[in-house]
Chains A and B, each alone.
Chain A
């Protein structure tokens, strides 16, 4: 049987998530150039980690579940890495006539 958390535990997590939402939203009104995207994604990843660890109880779960969760993210990263390395490197080399 796994541990049962207090309601305070979940509401604290909720408060953190709402605070992060406020941060994302607020940053949307400030021009930081490329950092708008970087910070927005960083905050989204932070929110995802809070939800996955504490709401979905990955923290305290078996190694097997950690592996299954990590695999999904890993394959997503591979998808992005391979596709974007194609798009971003187009035009680097111009074939000779």
Chain B
């Protein structure tokens, strides 16, 4: 039964496992390049509006919850470290380590989302959500509202990516527990690892741009 559950080691179109892994990794890097474009549109919109309204963006940025945003950066950096260690555990065929590291990485991802929830709650009660209940005492309300549109679009899109990552990590943990990644057949762990690190990189740029646009 366990032999049926295990994924076939080598697909027939490849000469050997190394070639198969190289193809999978190239595919993932190309996918990540399209993700750069996907987020790139929002980063570009941010750049244009910040260029047009630098003072309003600086002021609006001071209203974001910098402690929660900064803490979340740390959480993601730690989770990336654990993810890298998980790939290492897979390379060494250490199943128990792999399962625990995948679960710990997912747990930090969940922690990120919980902190994000508190942050959105803060934004909500501070009337920073664009729309009818948006309150702005400074000048140029539309530009300030645009900052918060971008803030929610960028952190929201990122949060969707984190959520997908958490689900993938939990699936990997279950599969690792079932010995699916034994004997060098750990390509899925490596691929999800690349995705997780990419999501981390996006946040590395979001943090200073959204939370520290104006010095505090």
Contacts and interface: CB of A to CB of B under 8 A. Distances in A.
Interface residues of B, number: 51
B212 A36 contact: yes
A4 B92 contact: yes
Contacts, number: 132
A25 B211 CA distance: 9
B26 A4 contact: no
A90 B78 CA distance: 44
B26 A28 contact: no
Chain A interface SS verdict (over half): helix
Interface in A38-58: 40-41, 43-44, 47-48, 51-52, 54-56
Nearest to A17: B77
Interface in B9-39: 18, 22, 25-26, 29-30, 32-34, 36-37
A28 B197 contact: no
Interface in B113-141: none
13 contacts: A10-B84, A10-B88, A13-B81, A21-B70, A24-B207, A25-B212, A32-B215, A51-B200, A55-B197, A56-B197, A65-B25, A68-B26, A69-B32
Nearest to B61: A28
A37 to B, nearest CB: 8
Interface in B175-208: 184, 193-194, 197-198, 200-201, 204-205, 207-208
Interface of A: 1-2, 4-5, 7, 10-11, 13-14, 17-18, 21, 24-25, 27-32, 36-37, 40-41, 43-44, 47-48, 51-52, 54-56, 61-62, 64-65, 68-69, 71-73, 75-76, 79-80, 83-84, 87-88
